[in-house]
Amino acid sequence: MDIEIAKRIYRAYLAIFDMELRDSLRREMLTWAFVENPDHWPVIGVTGAALERFAEHDFRCVSGMKVQRAHLADRKVWQSAMLAEKLNFDDWLTLYAQSDRTVLATSSENMRGEDLKYVPIPAELGLFRSMGYKWRHTMAEREYLRDLHVKLDPSGRIHRGDPESGQVMRQISQSG
């Protein structure tokens, strides 16, 4: 994240921290403040079920297909921690950066809130960039998903000559 944007959001965090409002409202305000970061909710992976759902729609993002960005860390938990104790800038930024990551998952996977197995998507590719509550889904994203779908076998292992051959989907708890 750009340091000037981070400082702006941090100043908002400090103001929200000092407000004498109920916690749920302060967490909602934090969520909106984080939208100031153009790279909020970065997509770092895709679940097998979401990849199959994309395949059903020729790897397009279609209204009603029920694929969402699922947070790997429960926002209520990490935002509450952020509001429980005033953090210095470095600690705040570390907590934010570690907690804001998402994976593309089906809505049912996201709602279950269980551990998600996913195939990592390298951040340096710049895919699935945030656009408010949605993500950019261009030909580059479609081709990436199509290629990934071809490389995966049913067990979630990458194969067919990929340099990361044998890589298994990662499993990360949404609560941590």
Tens of pLDDT along the chain (176 residues) come to 899 999 999 999 999 999 999 999 999 999 999 989 988 899 999 999 999 999 999 999 999 999 999 999 998 999 999 999 999 999 999 999 999 999 999 999 999 876 889 999 998 999 999 887 789 999 999 999 999 999 886 555 554 444 443 444 554 433 33
Q: Which domain holds residue 70?
A: 3-172
**Structure token pair of residue 85:** 């104790």
Single pTM value for the model: 0.79
- The confidence score (pLDDT) of residue 24 equals 95
Which of 66, 67, 10, 60 is closest to 34 using CA atoms? 10
Q: Which residues contact residue 11 at a Cβ distance below 8 angstroms, ignoring those fewer than 6 apart? A: none
Q: Is 64 left (phi over 0), alpha (psi -120 to 50) or beta?
A: left
The number of distinct structural domains making up the chain is 1
The CA distance from 151 to 106, in Å, is: 20
- The confidence score (pLDDT) of residue 175 equals 38
- The confidence score (pLDDT) of residue 115 equals 82
First to last CA, the chain: 21
